[in-house]
Structure formats: C-alpha cells, structure tokens
C-alpha cells in the first residue's frame, strides 16, 4: 500500500518535474552590453571525436576575445553550449531554446551538421537568425539573393569537390588527361554525403571521366562490399565523403584492398588528426582538403596559449591547440566575431547588435590580408569578402597529406572554379526559390 502510493507519487513527480524543467530556461537576462553567441556542439555520440576539437576551438577563440580584448569593442561575448549529439531533433531543440537568448537574441548559429542546417534553413528567415555554415551546409545557399540568412563562408561541398578534382587534374597533367578515367565517390549515405554529387556529375560530363557512386550506410563501419567494388572497378582516384568512424574504416579497407592511399582525397571533416593518428603509417599518403593552412601555426595560437591556456581556462588539452580541427573551430568563431565587429562599425561601436544587424555584418564582411595579419591568422587563410549576391566570400582551400606522423601541405591555395560552380548554384537556388515561393532579392553589383 505505502509502496504503491510512493510509486504513484514518484511517477507524477517525474512527469511534472520534466514539464516544469523544460518550461523555465528562458528567464530574463541581465541587460548588460553583451552579445550572445550560441554554440551547437556534439561532444557525445558517434561523431564526438571530430566534434570535440572543433567545439573547443570555437569556444577558445571566444574566450580569447573576452580575455585579451575585453570583448568586441568592449561588448563582452556571452555564450552557451548546447549538445546535439549530431541528431537533428536535438539540434532543432537547441536552436529553439537559444535563438532568443541574450539581450538581442542569438547572433548567429553554426549548426555543425548538414541535417540541422537543412532543418533550420527554413526557420531562419522567420526567426531572423543568421546561419553560418563554414565549409558545409547547402551548397546553393552561396546565392545570397535567395538565401538571405545563410552564409556558407569559405566554401561549400561543391567548391571542395571542385578543388579536389583540380588537384587531381594537376597531378595527372591537365583536365584532358582525366578522359576515360574512373573516379569513385565513397560517401556517407545522407544529405551530407550526397552534396558533392551534382558538381561531380557536371565535371564528369565536361571532361569525360566516369563517376562511380558508392554509398556507405551510416555510421560507416560496413564497407567491405564498397571496397570490393573498388577492387573490381579499379578507379583512378577515390573521393571520400565521410565523417567519424567511417574515415579510419575506409583507410583500413583501402589498405586491405591494396588501394593506394595517395589516390584518396577526403573532405575536410575526414581530414583531422583524430581520423588518422591511430593508423599512423597505414594512412601515409592520404590526402584531405582544408579551408585553412593546416600545417601552419600562427600568432593567434601563441595569443591563445598566453591569454587563455596559461590561466588554466582553455577548453582543450594544451597540445591540441594548432591541430586541424581545433584551428578550424577558431576560424569559425573568428568569422562570427568579425561579422559582429563589421556590424558595429555601421550601427555603433560598443553596442549590442541585433540579429538583423549581425546579418548585415555577415553580408559585408571584408577580411583583407592586412586584417588577417592584425588578427594573427597570417598564413592560415586568404582574404574573404562577402556581398549581397555572394554569401560565400571566397573558397580558398588547400590539399594536405598525411606523412605518417602529421599533416603537411601538398598543394598551393586553390579556389573553386566559378565558371563551373556558379551556374549550378544559380540553378539549384532558383529551384529552391520556386519551391518555397521566394522572390529573390535584387542585389546591387
């Protein structure tokens, strides 16, 4: 009897507790001069090894700006992490929870996931929140006249695929040498993995190479049949669109099949130290693309170590500073901060920017070489300039190669070929606009 009553009460309490707990997180914020930046991260789940250094890098740069500069022109950056575990449901919940936080709401979202990006892209124009997708997201969102609130700054999967092919063509001695060759795309069977297909198909048509599509079911540990097909088809190159556990598995399978790692090109999410470190020499020769100069270290790393890590405030381990994924995280936060700073230059220095004003900042980014040097990112990246029409700004990228112990640069800077990519972007964006009844904005110049 007593026990029954107890369990009834326990059940009731658990349910009401859950309701109450979910209802209260939006308490009033102090109205100080602060700018809120939400941080969607995946520190748990199957992609965590990739997500952790990336999240740490994003967090570290914000800490550095607060610590070293006292914020952006005196406006402190407040932040809150929200764990998505790379799941779209959780990500949408995080987005809804954080979008109106802080004095003016979330400055911008970096969803860290293609799935979440797709889900929030439709919500963003209504909520007036900027979606920043550095190097991922929807490729057609580079067209700012249709995608007013999306900013795939520094490149998309289409520019990445294009640059990989450019490097392959260069190695082979010209585009015409690709004729009749076979190139395989081994991809994560999800929107993320399918993103490069339109561009690769267009390039295959242009240069007469054969594209072979080999999907791998998530999470990517089952690849035996895929690599059996590769052994049969003998492609000249393999492009790898993987993430998390799929990457080391692919490299192991390549080793088992005898496919040369030198002929593998991986997308940036498959090109961080965590993916290849344990494989060591087995991954030697493995190529990946990065949006930044991965082999370089710059003043920004010293600043971070001095201002944040020496005060025991760092998010990662000290030796992780300067790794590919950590630096990329810092780069993403740098772009966010620069967008807010650009907005402040127009709407008032030292003020908290609204979501619309931050969007303006993103659209008028002009990170010149001089500015890059000032920021301490010299050598790590190339200038970026966005506009109403071009929400990507630039698509500079590098090819890096694993030498068995570390990544080294194996190419110069490349940019995606606008003459190939732009028509595709325009076509896909127009399709999106007609599906969604969006009238594209008129962009000057």
Partner 1 sequence: MFYRENGQFKTSYRADQQIFPIRQDRVFMLLVLAVAFLAVPMLASDYLLRAILIPFLILSLSAIGLNILVGYCGQISLGTGAFMAVGAYAAFNFGVRFPFLPLLVQVLLGGLCATIVGVIFGIPSLRIRGLYLAVATLAAQFFVDWAFLRIPFLTNYSASGSVSVANLQVFGFPIQSALSRYLFCLSVVAVFALLAKNLVRGAIGREWMAIRDMDVAASVIGIRPMYAKLTAFAVSSFIVGVAGALWGYLHLGSWEPLAFSLERSFQLLFMVIIGGLGSIVGSFFGAAFIVLLPVGLNNIPHMLGLPLSVDTASHIEHMIFGGLIVFFLIAEPHGLAKLWSIAKEKLRIWPFPH
Among 171, 182, 194, 277, binds partner 1 (CB under 8 A): 194
Among 131, 294, 428, 429, binds partner 1 (CB under 8 A): 428
Query: What is the distance between the alpha carbons of residues 371 and 378, in angstroms, rounded to a whole number?
Result: 9
Pairing mode of beta strands 287-290, 237-241: unpaired
Residue 211 binds partner 1, judged by CB under 8 A: no
Q: How many residues does the chain have?
A: 445
Residue 56 binds partner 1, judged by CB under 8 A: no
Torsion of CA 124, 130, 133, 139, to 10 degrees: 60
Residue 128 binds partner 1, judged by CB under 8 A: no
Among 49, 82, 347, 387, binds partner 1 (CB under 8 A): 82
Residue 148 binds partner 1, judged by CB under 8 A: no
| Strand segments (E) across 324-437 | 366-367, 384-385, 398-402, 407-409
Residue 92 binds partner 1, judged by CB under 8 A: yes
Could you tell me if 127 and 99 are in contact, meaning their C-beta atoms sit under 8 angstroms apart?
yes
Residue 10 binds partner 1, judged by CB under 8 A: yes
Query: What is the distance between the alpha carbons of residues 385 and 391, in angstroms, rounded to a whole number?
Result: 9
Please provide the DSSP assignment of 18-59 as one string: HHHHHH-S-PPPP-SSEEEEEEEE--SSTTHHHHHHHHHHHH
Residue 28 binds partner 1, judged by CB under 8 A: no
Residue 23 binds partner 1, judged by CB under 8 A: yes
Residue 426 binds partner 1, judged by CB under 8 A: no
Residue 313 binds partner 1, judged by CB under 8 A: no
Residue 7 binds partner 1, judged by CB under 8 A: yes
Among 18, 206, 228, 256, binds partner 1 (CB under 8 A): 18
Using alpha carbons, select from 211, 209, 181 the residue that is nearest to residue 196.
211
Using alpha carbons, select from 201, 64, 153, 174 the residue that is nearest to residue 363.
153
Among 2, 5, 28, 412, binds partner 1 (CB under 8 A): 5
- Give the count of residues interacting with partner 1 (CB under 8 A): 60
Least distance (Å) from partner 1 to the CB of residue 322? Answer: 22
Which residue, 24 or 31, is less far from partner 1 as judged by CB? 24
Handedness of CA 281, 287, 288, 294 (dihedral sign): positive
Region from 168-176, 193-201, 253-261, 373-381 binding partner 1, contact rule CB under 8 A = 193-201
Region from 6-14, 229-237, 245-253, 263-271 binding partner 1, contact rule CB under 8 A = 6-14
Among 60, 83, 143, 275, binds partner 1 (CB under 8 A): 83
Contacts of 300 (CB under 8 A, 6+ apart): 64, 330, 375, 376, 377, 380
Contacts of 132 (CB under 8 A, 6+ apart): 108, 109, 110, 151, 153, 332, 335, 336, 339, 362
Query: What is the distance between the alpha carbons of residues 404 and 81, in angstroms, rounded to a whole number?
Result: 34
Using alpha carbons, select from 157, 149, 79 the residue that is nearest to residue 114.
157
Residue 1 binds partner 1, judged by CB under 8 A: yes
- x/- letters, 268..307, toward partner 1 (CB under 8 A): ----------------------------------------
Q: Is the peptide bond before 437 cis (omega within 30 degrees of 0)?
A: no
Please provide the DSSP assignment of 235-247 as one string: -SEEEEE--TTHH
Query: What is the distance between the alpha carbons of residues 52 and 47, in angstroms, rounded to a whole number?
Result: 9
Among 2, 31, 126, 439, binds partner 1 (CB under 8 A): 126
Residue 213 binds partner 1, judged by CB under 8 A: no
Region from 22-30, 272-280, 385-393, 414-422 binding partner 1, contact rule CB under 8 A = 22-30
Which residue, 19 or 228, is less far from partner 1 as judged by CB? 19
Region from 74-82, 246-254, 290-298, 385-393 binding partner 1, contact rule CB under 8 A = 74-82
Residue 118 binds partner 1, judged by CB under 8 A: yes
Residue 81 binds partner 1, judged by CB under 8 A: yes
Region from 60-68, 162-170, 187-195, 411-419 binding partner 1, contact rule CB under 8 A = 187-195
Residue 8 binds partner 1, judged by CB under 8 A: yes
> What residue has token string 């008032």?
348
Query: What is the distance between the alpha carbons of residues 324 and 288, in angstroms, rounded to a whole number?
Result: 11
Q: Widest CA span of the chain, in angstroms?
A: 84
> What residue has token string 């580079």?
142
Residue 252 binds partner 1, judged by CB under 8 A: no
Binding site for partner 1 (CB under 8 A): 1, 4-5, 7-8, 10-12, 14-15, 17-26, 41, 43-44, 48, 52, 80-83, 85, 88-89, 92-93, 96-97, 99-100, 114-115, 118-119, 121-123, 126, 138, 189-191, 194-195, 197-198, 215, 218, 428, 435-437
């Amino acid at each position: 009897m007593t026990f029954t009553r107890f369990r009834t009460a326990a059940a009731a309490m658990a349910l009401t507790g859950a309701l109450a707990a979910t209802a209260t997180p939006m308490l009033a914020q102090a109205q100080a001069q602060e700018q809120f930046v939400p941080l969607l991260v995946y520190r748990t789940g199957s992609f965590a090894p990739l997500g952790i250094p990336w999240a740490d890098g994003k967090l570290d740069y914000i800490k550095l700006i607060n610590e070293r500069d006292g914020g952006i022109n005196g406006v402190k950056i407040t932040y809150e992490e929200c764990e998505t575990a790379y799941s779209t449901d959780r990500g949408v919940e995080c987005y809804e929870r954080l979008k109106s936080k802080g004095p003016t709401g979330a400055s911008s979202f970096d969803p860290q996931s293609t799935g979440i990006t797709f889900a929030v892209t439709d919500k963003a124009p209504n909520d007036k929140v900027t979606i920043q997708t550095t190097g991922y997201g929807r490729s057609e969102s580079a067209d700012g006249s249709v995608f007013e609130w999306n900013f795939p700054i520094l490149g998309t999967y289409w520019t990445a695929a294009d640059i990989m092919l450019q490097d392959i063509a260069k190695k082979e001695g010209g585009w015409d040498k690709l004729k009749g060759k076979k190139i395989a795309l081994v991809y994560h069977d999800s929107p993320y993995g399918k993103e490069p297909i339109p561009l690769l198909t267009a390039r295959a048509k242009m240069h007469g190479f054969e594209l072979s599509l080999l999907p791998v079911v998530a999470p990517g540990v089952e690849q035996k049949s895929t690599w059996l097909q590769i052994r049969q088809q003998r492609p000249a190159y393999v492009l790898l669109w993987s993430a998390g556990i799929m990457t080391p598995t692919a490299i192991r399978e390549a080793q088992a099949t005898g496919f040369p790692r030198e002929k593998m090109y991986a997308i940036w999410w498959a090109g961080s130290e965590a993916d290849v470190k344990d494989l060591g020499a087995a991954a030697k020769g493995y190529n990946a693309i990065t949006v930044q100069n991965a082999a370089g270290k710059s003043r920004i790393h010293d600043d971070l170590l001095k201002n944040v890590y020496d005060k025991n405030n760092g998010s990662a381990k000290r030796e992780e500073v300067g790794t590919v994924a950590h630096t990329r995280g810092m780069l993403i936060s740098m772009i966010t901060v620069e967008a807010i700073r650009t907005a402040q230059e127009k709407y008032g220095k030292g003020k908290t920017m609204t979501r619309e004003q931050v969007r303006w900042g993103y659209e008028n980014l002009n990170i010149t070489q001089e500015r890059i040097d000032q920021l301490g990112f010299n050598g790590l990246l190339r200038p970026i300039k966005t506009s109403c029409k071009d929400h990507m700004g630039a698509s500079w990228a590098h090819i890096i190669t694993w030498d068995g112990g570390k990544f080294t640069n194996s190419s110069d800077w490349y940019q995606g070929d606008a003459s190939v990519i732009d028509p595709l972007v325009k076509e896909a964006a127009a399709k999106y606009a007609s599906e969604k009844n969006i009238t594209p904005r008129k962009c000057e110049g």
